[in-house]
Structures are given as C-alpha cells and as structure tokens.
A and B are shown apart, each in its own frame.
Chain A
Amino acid sequence: MSHFLTSQLAVRNSLFWVLLLFLSPFVPANAQRVITLRLTDWADIDEMPLDRKVISEFHARYPNIEILYEPNPGVQYEEKILTALAANEPPDVFLLDSKLIPTFTNKKVLLDLSAFVQELRVDTTQWFSNVTNIARKGSALYAFPKGFTPLMMYYNKRLFREAGLPFPSDAWTWDDYRSIAMKLTQDTNGDGSIDQYGTAFTNYFYFWIVWVWSSGGDVIDPTGSRATGYLNSQATEASLQFLIDLQRTYKVAPSTGSWVQSEKTGSTSQLFANGKIAMMIDGHWRLPRLLRQVEQGGLEIGVAPIPRSAGGAKVNVMYESGWCVPVSSRHPKEAALLASFMAGQEANRIRATRHLEIPSSRLVANEMVVEDTHDVERAFIAEVPSCRQPWGSVVERFSEVEWTLQDAVDEVLVNGQPMHATMTRYATKIDHQLQNTRLSQTSEFKPIREHSEILGFLITVVCIVASASALLYYRARGKSRRATGAALGFLAPSLLHLTVFVLTPIVFAGYLSVHRWDVVVSDKPFVGLDNFRELFSDESFLNALKNTLLYTLNVPVSMVLALTVALMMNRRVKGIALLRALYFLPSVTSFVAIALVWMWIYHPTFGVANFLLHLVGLAPSAWLNSTNTAMISVVIFSIWLGLGYQMIIFLAGLQGIPEELHDAARIDGSGSWNRFWHITLPLLKPTTFFILITSLISSFQVFTSIYVMTAGGPVGSTDVIVYHIYQSAWEQLRMGYASAMSWVLFVIIVIATWIQFRLLGNQIDYG
C-alpha cells in the first residue's frame, strides 16, 4: 500500500519537473538552479525510512538541492563503493567505515571538509572530539561522524543472581572477571558435561585488542611501522595468554570456533541470549535486539566496561562511521552541506530512535542516556573519554595485518603452539607486510575518466577477434570454407558476447598483472614481473595453492556419489519428482540459511555432528575449528551442496541413452552391473566429461564456501587461491597482484584441463 503511494508521489513529482522544464525559460535568471546529489549508505530495512526522513528534512530546508537516495545492503558495500570510484562515478556523499579512512586519505580520494567548516558554519564541537578525530589527518577533516560504539561486556543478570554473585563494578579487574567466569561455568542439568559457560573468546582481533591495550601492550608501534617488540612484548603476550587460557586451561569459555563462525552467524549472541554464556563482549549494535528480548521477559542484561588489568589504564576502542565526500563530486560545497546535515543534531535525533549506535552528537547522546529506561547507555557513554581509535583507521591496508594477527592467536589457541616463539614469528611477518604497504604508498590521485582506457582495450580485442575470424575463413579451402563460414555464423552471437563481456576484461586483467593498481586511483605504474616474483616468494600464496589442490580431490568423490543418486532417480517411480526436487533444494535455498544451519551442525560445543558422534561412541571433533579437520569439513559441506547440481546434469545425460539398448541387453541376460558398465557408462561419457571439467574448474575457483564458513582459517588451513585473490583485490586494493594470481591459477587450470582432454576427450564416438 505504502509503495503504491510512493509511486503516486513519484508520478506527481515527475509531473512537477516536466512542468518546470516547460516553464524554465520564463523563470527569472537569478532563480537558483536546482542541483541533484547522490547519497549512498548501508542502511538496512529499518534504517532506510529514518534516512529518508533526514533527507526530506534537508530538502525542505534547501529546496534547490535534490537528493537521490541510494541505499545498499551492508553485504559487499565496500565492493560497491570501490567499483563506483574505479569508474569515477561515486555518489556525492557516502557513508565510510573508519577502516577505509587511511587508504582513501592516502590516495586522496576524499575531499577535505575542513575547507567548508567555516563557510557552511558547521559546528564541529557538537560531536565527541575523539570520534571526529578518527577522520582527521593533520588539519584536514575527511568525514563528519555519524555514530560509533565502544566495546562492552554484556552480562546476564539472572545467572549472576542465581550464582549469588554481585554484578561487575566499573573498576573490575581481570582476576575478578576470571573468577566470576569460573563460578558461572556450570553443568546445570548434571549430565556430566558443561552446558553453561562463564564467557566466550574467539580470535576476533576487533574484540581482543582492548585487552592488549589495557595491559599496556600493543600489536604494532605508535607509528604503525613494525610489530616486532610490540606483538611479542611481555605485556601483549601476557594478555593474549590470559584470554586463551580462559578457553584452553580454565575452560570457562566454550570452543566456539573462530569469529567467522561465531560472530557472522551471531551464534555467540544467541548463546548469550539463551543463558548458555553468561558474559560476552559486543558493541552497541547488539543492544536493540537484546533489549527487545529483555522487554519480552526472560532475559535481564547488564553492561559493564571491559575489565582492567591490575594497575593498567582504563582504555577502550571506538568503531565509527562517518559521512564523506569524494573529490570528484561535481558539487563539493553542496555535498559537504549534505554530509554535515546527515551528521547534524536533527539527523542524529531521528536516527537515535533506533539505538543501533551511539550518536556522534554529544547532546543527542546525553538525551539518549536520560531517556534510557534499561540503565545501559550510561555505561557506554562513560567509556567515550578513554576510547582510542582502532589501528584500522590509522594504518593503510591494516586488514591484512588483522588476518595475520588472528592466525597468530589461532596458532596458540587452536594448535597449542608456544606463545613467545609464535608471536615473534608472526611479528616478523607483519613487519614485512607493513613495509610492503609503505613502499606502495606513492600513488597519486589523478582524476582522469577511466572510460577511454577500457574503450581502447575493447576496440583492440574486438578488432583482433574479428580479423582472426576473417583469416580463418579465407585460409580455409573448398568444402572446409563453406563449413567454416557456417560455423562462424553459428558462433557469431556468442563470440561477440564473449569478446565484449569476458575476453576484454580478461585481457585487461592481463595488463593489470604487470602493473600496480589501487582501484580507487586511475594511476597504474608499470612494475614488470614484480607481482609474479612476489607471488612465488609469498608463503601464504603457496599454502593457498596447496590447499586448493587438496580441495579439488573432492571432485571424484562427489561425482561417484552424484552418479549413484542420478541412477537411482532415473526411474518412473511415484514421487520421484519430489525426491529430485529435494536434492536440488540446497541450490535454491538461501545461502545464509544453509551456512547458518551448517555452523550449528559443526559447532564444536553445541553442534549436531558431535552429538551424533557421541551417540555412536566416538570422540568429538573440532570440525571447522582445527587445522586438521577444517578442510575436510568444508569438503563435506561442498559435496553436500553440489550434489544436486551434478545429479541434474547426470540425469539429463541419462535421458540420452536409448532404452532399447538396455532392453536388448536385458533380453541377452546381462545383469544390472554389467549393463551399467558396458552400456550406461560408455554412453554417458560426454556428460561425465562435462561434469568432470566444470567441477574441476569450479573447485579450483572455490570461494563462497570458504568465505562463509572459515574465512581461510584456522591458521590458513582452508585458505584457497580465489579467497586469496579476493582479499588482495578487495580488502588490500592490490588489483595488479590479484590479477597476477589469477593468471597463475589460469595456467594451472589450463594444464589440468588439457590433461583431462588428453586422457578422455578424444575418445568420444559419434554413435
């Protein structure tokens, strides 16, 4: 209904504009021109109406500025912004996560808003100063803050009361925390296994860095140039040991898998909400949902600061986002005005109704504390003065370091490696990464339209393909020429499509592999074979290569399974259509639903798989949470997921086998095994061959399963090439390096495919 109304409004609006267009010659020349700005953020369904409201307020005040609101889903928002920048078509104002600030400011993608502060009379003191400072570099200001959150310890009041424990005080220490966690870890139903844990811990860097800071340690030096002497310092190691011991030694935290499993699916917060974990660390974003649960009864929560180490300082971290304007905006002043309005008091007040984050405006934040009936906001605000900005907002390409740090923790947490040796080893690795990043910081922003370049590639490739086809035709003689002409006719549409949408991008990727390209700048310095040289000395790439080869071993297993299923489904039995549909279901079901259910199956502490092992008297497995079993767990999942796809194609292939052949053989008295071996299998060869080749290619390119289930962990044990390419391209913005990796992968797949063709391909008989 509401959407009918909006379309009505849209019609009325457009009528208005049409009218205006006709009247425009008669409008006095001094009337202000109407300009249009595009605004993008990652608002979800609940936030969109709030943002629309803010925008309409803005438009009411500045009627000569029209806003095109372009919300994007939070998933792959970064890719969206990056590609828009690469094509030099970014929105005029967009929401920026603080982790992109160093990259975007170093590459001079963002407009310095401080130039407009005076002119537009933006009151920068309205915001919490340390929140604003996250986007400040020297005297420049690159974003107006939207909102932020520190990290807090959520606790379940009921469990505290039942155990006769006082609630945590603002000044509680690590020892207090651990002893409380020990008291809250219980076997409530007396079946001999723990079912209520004191707390939770994962390798998630975002969550554990606060503990390290609290002990006076850090992971890198203040200038952000090296980790040695910091990551392997006594304070840092002691704090990590303290956290890891919660799980390994004291067993007051369940083995929940890495953060990919526990945070992405929200299983830690689910366990918390269900009283299975008494204390957990989380941000403000978790609050609205937990409070709804509190309001419905059954859950009572409290919020405390993260405990301090004995004698350590009070410290917290601040994760924020802000509104920024790209330098390429055609209306910088108006865009800056819009950005300041989006971060202003009115906007903050409208958005605060949703409680997703702490408003950047001090006034609105304090109003939120006053109106808070659950007594939780006060604790959040009290943290603000001691909040530090995260490393990600200071050091370019820090995500690479984050992944390495998580691996380092997993080495000790999952693999039980000694602390000091591990941290020293990883510190060296991070030193190297930081050095590489610094070396590449020479690019400058040159606002050139990218189009001419890609157009050049397109025209060149089209010409080459066209002349090659012509050559092919004229070199053929006699009968062969007629066939070649006919074939080129049949191939023309697909060849044109391939050339424009596939071949040209591939050639462009080839060009990139010998260049360096940061995506957001158009400058692409030539680096020769440097990318390839770096590749083959990159241990993690070689590890990913090894894992990818291991992963492809699933192909024969899944094919045998799929063929078996297809053979049994290839009958006219009642209900067979339904059974077929069931096997096809995973290909259709929402992938997040599938991932979620499998996370639950594989959960090391509360999972179904271990429950089944327990039933048949086997020892539990760590599944995704161990370097030994993670890959095989992913493989099992992938086989399950891909079974339907392979089955369908086998089924289609089986239809091509004439029943007369089977009937004849049956009359001859040959058994079903015999018939399968001598009739079905040979005649199914083209299908089998197709499935083999395509499955092999897609196994070499496995990505989604890894991205969702393990993010390459633990300790790189499931890192595969395409995941590696993805991280280089989209997280580290090293498109040249990523392209080089793609070409190496290409060569490997070509060789593998060529071998298959040699072994099987030429033996197809034409019936």
Chain B
Amino acid sequence: MKRTDKIFLYMGLIAIAVSMLIPFLWMLSTSLMDELEVYQFPPKFIPSVCKWNNFAEAMTLQPFGRFFLNSMIVAAASVIGQITFCSMAAYAFARLRFHGRERIFALYLGTMMIPAIVTVIPAFLIITTFGWMNTYWALFTPTMSSVWGIFLLRQFFLTIPKELEDAARVDGASDWTIFIKVILPLSKPALATLTIFAFMGSWKDFLWPLIVTNRVDMRTVEVGIASFSNLYTTDWPHQMAAAVVVMLPIIIVFMFAQKYFVKGITMTGIKG
C-alpha cells in the first residue's frame, strides 16, 4: 500500500470514528441541559448552562442504586456462566472427536435461528412454572449460556495448534487438564470478547427483565432508564443523564478487556 493511500485510509477511519461520537456527544450534552433546551431542531450540542444536578436527580428520582445492584448481579452471573459453560461446550465441539458431534453442533446453531420474539412467552411460562417471578434466578439463569458464545469460542479453539495438545496428552494429561491448562490460557482474546458481549448483553437487556419482574426493587438499570418516558413524551435530560451513568460500567469492562487484544500471543511449535 502506498503511503498516500494509507493516509487517506486513516483519515476515513477517523471520520467514521467521529460520526460514531456524535450520538454520544448529543447524549452527553443533553444530560446537562435544561429540559426545554433539548427541544431544538436541528439539535444543540452545547448546553448554555451545564446542569450537573440532572445526574443527581436522575439517580435519586428512582432507586437507581438498587437497579445497579440488580444489573451487576445479573451481569456478573451472566459473564461467569457464559465463560464457564460456553468454553466447556466449545472445547467439546472444537477439540474432541466424538460420536454425533456435527449433529449436536447443528442443533445448537439451529436454536439461534428462531427469532426470540416468539419464544419469549413460552420462556416466561417456564419461569412462572418454576415460581421464579420477581427473583434473580429469573433474571440471570436464561443468560448463563449462549450458543453465540459457544460458536465464538469454538472458532477460536479451532485455531490452536494440535501439537500443543498432543504434547500434553503424551504427558498423560486428561481432557479437563488440557482444557484448563492449554486451551483457556491461549484463548484470552476470545474470552475477553465473550466477557464484553455477555456483560453488555445482559446489562442492556430490556424486555426480559421487564417481563419477569413486577416489583420496582427487582428492576434493572435499562428498565429504570425507560421509565423517564411515557407513551408520548420523554424527559430527555434525566433519561440521558441516567443513560450516561449506566453505560460507564460497560466502558470500564471494555477498556479492561480490550487490553487482551494487544498482547499478541507468541506460539511455539507451529509449522512455518
């Protein structure tokens, strides 16, 4: 690639990055505005006076502390569950040669292909059968494993050279040891990716927590945010203030996880 091409490419990259910043900037500035200032068209990006109080109000008008606690519990359970269960399943699909592997994997993948909109009601009926309405169980158990995560990890496990595994096997290592000692340590970027998406998935989920909880003290942050609007109008400044605070944990998780994307793995014993 020529140097000038590269410069153009980077300029394009930065231009797209800026476009991605715009909705966020609007969110940030709206969170500091007076309610009436929001109603500008085209939208305003700089508030005339910064109302920092919006944040305090947004967090206290509803029990947001409790919402955060709930979301944290759900997201943590979801991440731990997915990292554990998805990687175990992915290991089986990627590294073990067993009877019916392809068929079972096809069954797993197939479940991704029915839109969730029609399975929400039966899933909810199951939860009520268990008597889990208004409980953490109802909130996090359905998110503790995902075919998406299994598929993601399977694809990464496939790229790990077989020689590493064979060497361990010669030393008499069991499947479990290989999984824990060889495969997982080499899959940090993939596990980091899954952490981000599992965390985000349960953190940003709206419909499911809404359906399986009635009591305000069991609600999650995303449901709390939605309560700033009614059928016709929205209290934008407070809603955006809450949304800004709510997205912080995801950003933090992202910043921690993305570190694993720069530690290029040095592998040994690879065919040149």
- Nearest neighbor of B88 in chain A, beta-carbon distance: A490
Contact A283 B96 (CB under 8 A): no
Q: At the interface, yes or no: A500 with Cβ under 8 Å from chain B?
A: yes
A692 CB, nearest partner CB in chain B, Å: 11
- Given A487-B96, A700-B113, 12 new contacts (CB under 8 A): A44-B235, A46-B235, A71-B216, A451-B128, A454-B126, A483-B99, A579-B14, A581-B258, A661-B270, A725-B118, A746-B110, A767-B160
The docked-state distance in angstroms from the alpha carbon of A115 to that of B66 is 42
Which residues from chain A contact B92 at a C-beta distance below 8 Å?
Answer: 486-487, 490-491
0/1 per residue, A491-509, Cβ < 8 Å to B?
1011101101111111011
Whether the Cβ atoms of A652 and B189 lie closer than 8 Å is: yes
Q: CB < 8 Å: which of A79, A286, A750 contacts B207?
A: A79
**Does B156 lie within 8 Å of A656, measured CB to CB?**
yes
Check if B125 is an interface residue, CB within 8 A of chain A.
Answer: yes
Return chain B residues, CB-CB under 8 Å to A583: 16-17, 20
Question: Given the complex of chains A and B, what is the CA–CA distance between A55 and B117 in angstroms?
Answer: 34
Q: Which residue of B lies closest to A473 (CB)?
A: B99
What are 16 A-B residue pairs whose CB atoms fall within 8 Å in the complex? A45-B235, A46-B235, A74-B230, A75-B206, A87-B128, A267-B41, A483-B98, A494-B86, A501-B142, A506-B114, A509-B119, A594-B23, A606-B41, A652-B261, A725-B115, A767-B159
* Count, chain A residues at interface, CB 8 A: 157
A475-B99 CB under 8 A given contacts A2-B60, A45-B228, A742-B115 = yes
Tell me, yes or no, whether B135 is within 8 Å of chain A by CB.
Answer: no
* Chain B contact residues, CB within 8 Å of chain A: 1, 9-10, 13-14, 16-17, 19-24, 26-27, 30, 35-36, 39-43, 60-63, 65-66, 84-86, 88-89, 91-92, 96-101, 104, 108-115, 117-126, 128-129, 133, 141-142, 144-145, 147-148, 150-152, 155-156, 158-163, 175, 179, 189-190, 192-193, 196, 200, 206-207, 210-211, 214-216, 223, 225-235, 238-240, 243, 247, 250-251, 254-255, 258-267, 270-272
A266 interface residue (CB < 8 Å to B): yes
A484 at the binding interface (Cβ < 8 Å): yes
Give the dominant DSSP class at B's interface.
helix
Query: Does the CB pair A651–B233 fall under 8 Å?
Result: no
A423-482 interface (Cβ within 8 A of B): 450-451, 453-455, 457-458, 472, 475-476, 480-481
Q: Which residues of A contact B148 (CB under 8 A)?
A: 694
Decide if A735 is an interface residue (CB 8 Å cutoff).
yes
Question: Does chain B have a CB within 8 A of A293?
Answer: yes
Tell me, rounded to whole Å, the shortest Cβ–Cβ distance linking B214 to chain A: 4
- 3 tightest CB-CB pairs across the interface, nearest first? A73-B226, A505-B119, A767-B161
Cα A644 to Cα B13 in complex, Å, equals 12
Q: Which residues of A contact B14 (CB under 8 A)?
A: 579
Q: Which of A89-124 contact B (CB under 8 A)?
A: 89, 91, 97
The answer to whether B233 touches A585 (Cβ under 8 A) is no
Complex interface bits, A8-21 against B, C-beta within 8 A gives 1, otherwise 0: 00000000000000
Q: How far is the CB of B129 from chain A (nearest CB, A)?
A: 5
CB atoms of B210 and A568 under 8 A apart: no
Question: Distance in Å from the Cβ of B268 to the closest Cβ of chain A?
Answer: 9
Chain A residue nearest in CB terms to B223: A73
CB distance from B225 to the nearest CB of A (A): 7
A72 near B266 with CB under 8 A, answer no
Residue of B nearest to A455 (CB): B129
- Are A565 and B13 in contact (CB-based, < 8 A)? yes
Residues of A within 8 A of B13 (CB): 565, 568, 579
Contact with B along A165-187 (1 / 0, CB 8 A): 00000000000000000000000
B157 to chain A minimum Cβ distance, whole angstroms, is 9
Which residue from A2, A292, A686 sits with its C-beta under 8 Å from B35?
A: A292
Chain A residue, CB-CB nearest to B153: A690
Complex Cα–Cα for A75 and B178 (A) = 48
- Give the residues from 342 to 376 in chain A that come closer than 8 angstroms, CB to CB, to chain B: 356
Is there a chain B Cβ closer than 8 Å to A755's Cβ? no
Judge if A701 is at the interface, Cβ distance under 8 Å. yes
Chain B residue with minimal CB distance to A595? B23
Q: Which of B101, B158, B214 contacts A91 (CB 8 A)?
A: B214
Across the interface, do A597 and B22 meet the contact criterion of CB distance under 8 Å?
Answer: yes
Partner of A508 from the list B113, B122, B227, B250 (CB cut-off 8 Å) is B122
A483 adjacent to B97 (CB under 8 Å): yes
Residue numbers in B under 8 Å from A519 (CB-CB) = 121
Task: List CB contacts (< 8 Å) of A280-311 with chain B.
Answer: 283, 285-286, 288-289, 292-293, 296
A480–B98 CA distance with the chains assembled, in angstroms: 6
Q: Does A24 sit within 8 A of B, measured CB to CB? A: no
